[in-house]
Each structure stands twice: as C-alpha cells, then as structure tokens.
Amino acid sequence: MISWPHRGSPDAHRNTERSGNGDPVLRRHLRWMALAGATLATGELGASTERPVPARTLRPKDLSPGLVRVPQTLLAMVHSEEGQKELGIPSEIEPAFDQFLRKVSAPWMRWRNQPSTEQREAIAKAETAVVSELRRRMGGVAVSRLRQLELQAQGARAFLRPDVAEFLDLNPEQTTKLQTLFENSDRSLMQVGSLGSAGRTRYAAALSRFRQAEQTASDRWLTTEQRSLWREALGELRETTAFQRVYPMAPELVDSGVWLDERAIRLSELRGSVVLLHFYAFQCHNCHANFAIYNRWHRTLRDKGIVVVGIQTPETEEERDTGKVLTAARKAGFEFPVLVDTKSANWEAWGTTMWPTVYVIDRRGYVRNWWMGELNWKGATNDRSVEQLAERLLLA
C-alpha cells in the first residue's frame, strides 16, 4: 500500500484516535530486529553455495499487483523532481509531461482510502501507462533508468519479484528465508501502526529500521556473484528515500459555481505559485482553531507568491446552506478564494477524510505534503512547518 504521512492533531474533528503508551510493543519489535541481526551474524539465515552466475541483463517487467509485500514505487520515482532529472526530461516538455501525469494519477489521492487489493490494481494500471508514455516520449534508456530507480526504492523487497529472482537465480531456500523475514517485519510494523497516535509517530522511524535490517540481511545472504549482478543491475545508486516530490499532481478543482465574493480560480492557472489549500467546515471547532492562521498566511505570504485557497465541504445540514457558508466565511475574515464544495466533489477527488486538512502544492502543481487536524494542537507549530515548506518551494 501507499504509505501516507499523517501530521497534525490525532484528535482532529470527527476522526479521533487515542492510544496509550506503545513503548513495550515497540521494544519487542526492536528486539526482533536485533535478533535478525544476530541470526545473520551466526550464519543461521541460510548458507549459500558459491557458484558462477552467467552474465545477463535484467529487464524488469510491470510489477504484479498481487506481490503485496513489494512496494509500488514507480509512480513516486517518476513524479519526483530528482527522478525526472535522472530520466533526463528536458524543461521544454515539462508542462506536457505534467499534464499527462495529472491525468494518469488523478485518482491517486483517492487510492489511499481504498482496500489494499483495489489500491494496488489501480496503481499497477497507472504504472503501465506511465512506462508506455515515457517510452514514447523519451525512449528505452529513460525507461531503463526509471526501472532502476523503482528497484532501488523497493530495496530488498525487490527480491520477491519473479523477474529479479530469475535474474539472480535465487534458490528456493533463499526465497523462503526472504519471505519469512519480510512476513515477520510486516507483522511487527502492523502492530506498531495499530497503536493509534503513539504508533503513527513511531511508524516512520520503525519502518526505516526494519527496511535497513532487511537490506542488511539480504546483502549478507546473497552470494558474491549475486551481489555483483544486483549492484550492476541497479545502475548508479541514488538515495531514493530522500526524494522530496513523491506525491501526485494536485487534482483540479471541481467548480460548484459558488465562491466567496465570486472569485473563482483554477489550480492550473496558479502554476508558478505555491498554493496552501485547506478543507474546512464552518461549524467544525477544530477548523476554527486554524482560521487565524489561514488569514495570517494570506496577509503575510501572498506578496511572496504563496496563494491560500479554502474549500468548505459540508457535513451538517447548516453547512450545506450556501448562504450560511458565505456569511460565516466573511465573519471569519477570509479574504482569499473560498470554494463551496456543495456536493463534496472536491472532498472525494482529494480523498480527504478529516476536517481540517491543509495541502501544500508546489509551483508546478505537485502535492508536496499535508497536515490533518489543528495546526497548533497542544503547542505544536505545524503552521510554521507549512510556512517554511512553502517558502522553500518558492526557491525550488
């Protein structure tokens, strides 16, 4: 599944999770990692017979959505600025390529809410379309490099791919040991993620540690010849975990025809500006806690090229009354464009699940991050984090 960051208050409006201290469970997970390392050191993970591996070329195929333990990383790589530089996409075709990516990944924000099976199938279709379009525009060399980045980002999980296993001539014992390692890792990560707010704050760090443990295990377990073949197949290595722009193009707004002071806009018209887009509901208490921040952003950042856009999506009957929505927006002092999402079409298109949510969109229209809940919940300073990110994106 796609791993989505969740910043902001876990106690946000109408979607609250609470959890106690999860440290004992996390300690068990970390002990398992230490045990895995000790197993490797003693050679108990499985012995491999050194044997010559004939020279050959890895030609990765489309990743089957049924390989649930292998992360789907191709879309993130092709959307990232670093990935596009690796592919050699010239600046003159950037707008057309962005337009294609906006079309093919339009449902991406909704996919995060789908069941895993449906999500992976939808992403697989998008990956196939991206490879075909890239081959048409840039040729086989660019596709080959994208495949290398895809495999690098998958890490040791790539060894579960049939094309990779065949290329490296993995034996049944190696495959079985790897599968067991990944199953244990996933089981432990699932337990971390089930700890509510405590788990969410630790999940990213735990994921990084588990993936490193998997990489260490697989590297020590492969034969010398297999390691050499694998390094050659990956091409020049990049730190894919540091790639910044790994989310899709922002979905275009669905215009309901109702705007505060009739100031209708389109996101495509804001190319070149950084956009801070927020979903709210005027009767939402947690949303009200952010209103002063939205107004400050509009006053202090607009001259720098940062645009604030509000989308009021209703839940209660009063929030469906456009007159009351507009009156409340004026009372709140909103001077930025506000779209009244009368039929929740934008809420659905963006896959939003919580009031309030703030999205940061860069100058080319890519979603760069988002925060869910009150920005300054219990002393947090997520408003400053948003501002700092937006100002960095202006310089990019």
Residues 300 and 347 in one domain: yes
Residues 237 and 265 in one domain: no
**Model confidence band, residue 27 (pLDDT cutoffs 50, 70, 90):** very low
Q: How far apart (Å, rounded) are the C-alpha atoms in residues 307 and 391? A: 12
Inside any domain, residue 2 = no
Give me the chain's average pLDDT, please.
86
pLDDT digits (tens, 9 = 90+) for 38-49: 333 333 334 444
Domain end residue (candidates: 214, 242, 270): 242
Which residue range forms the structural domain that includes residue 312?
A: 260-395
The confidence score (pLDDT) of residue 30 equals: 38
pLDDT digits (tens, 9 = 90+) for 166-208: 999 999 999 999 999 999 999 988 887 666 555 566 777 888 8
What's 325's domain CATH number? Answer: 3.40.30.10
**Model confidence band, residue 55 (pLDDT cutoffs 50, 70, 90):** low
Inside any domain, residue 252 = no
Inside any domain, residue 14 = no
Domain end residue (candidates: 242, 277, 306): 242
Start-end of H helices in 43-171: 74-79, 81-87, 94-104, 108-111, 116-138, 140-154, 162-168
Q: How far apart (Å, rounded) are the C-alpha atoms in residues 28 and 33? A: 9
Start-end of H helices in the chain: 23-42, 74-79, 81-87, 94-104, 108-111, 116-138, 140-154, 162-168, 172-193, 197-221, 224-234, 285-301, 322-331, 345-350, 382-395
Number of residues assigned to the chain: 396
Q: How far apart (Å, rounded) are the C-alpha atoms in residues 303 and 396? A: 17
The confidence score (pLDDT) of residue 37 equals: 38
pLDDT digits (tens, 9 = 90+) for 133-161: 999 999 999 999 999 999 999 999 999 99
The confidence score (pLDDT) of residue 374 equals: 96
Domain end residue (candidates: 207, 242, 277): 242
Q: Which tokens go with 281?
A: 């509901």
Q: How far apart (Å, rounded) are the C-alpha atoms in residues 142 and 241? A: 20
Q: In the beta sheet, which residues pair with residue 370? A: 359
Are the beta carbons of 268 and 365 closer than 8 angstroms?
Answer: yes
Residue 78 has a CB neighbour count (10 Å cut-off) of 27
Query: Across the chain, which distance is largest between two alpha carbons, in Å?
Result: 76
Residues 32 and 172 in one domain: yes
Q: How far apart (Å, rounded) are the C-alpha atoms in residues 356 and 292? A: 13
Inside any domain, residue 359 = yes
Residues 265 and 334 in one domain: yes
pLDDT digits (tens, 9 = 90+) for 321-357: 999 999 999 999 999 999 999 999 999 999 999 999 9
Number of domains present in the structure of the chain:
2
DSSP-derived secondary structure for 161-196: SHHHHHHHT--HHHHHHHHHHHHHHHHHHHHHHTTT
Inside any domain, residue 49 = yes
Contacts of residue 221, Cβ cutoff 8 Å, sequence gap at least 6: 40, 45, 46, 48, 174, 177, 178
> Does the predicted model carry a pTM greater than 0.85?
no
Contacts of residue 125, Cβ cutoff 8 Å, sequence gap at least 6: none
Residues 49 and 97 in one domain: yes
DSSP state at residue 371: E
Q: How far apart (Å, rounded) are the C-alpha atoms in residues 72 and 178? A: 18
Q: What sign does the CA torsion over 203, 83, 346, 258 have?
A: positive
The secondary element (H helix, E strand) that includes residue 361 is strand 357-361
The helix/strand/coil state of 11 is: coil
Residues 201 and 67 in one domain: yes
Asked if pLDDT for residue 227 goes beyond 70, the answer is: yes
Among 55-69, 190-204, 271-285, top mean pLDDT goes to: 271-285
The answer to whether the peptide bond before residue 314 is cis (omega within 30 degrees of 0) is: no
Q: How far apart (Å, rounded) are the C-alpha atoms in residues 235 and 87? A: 13
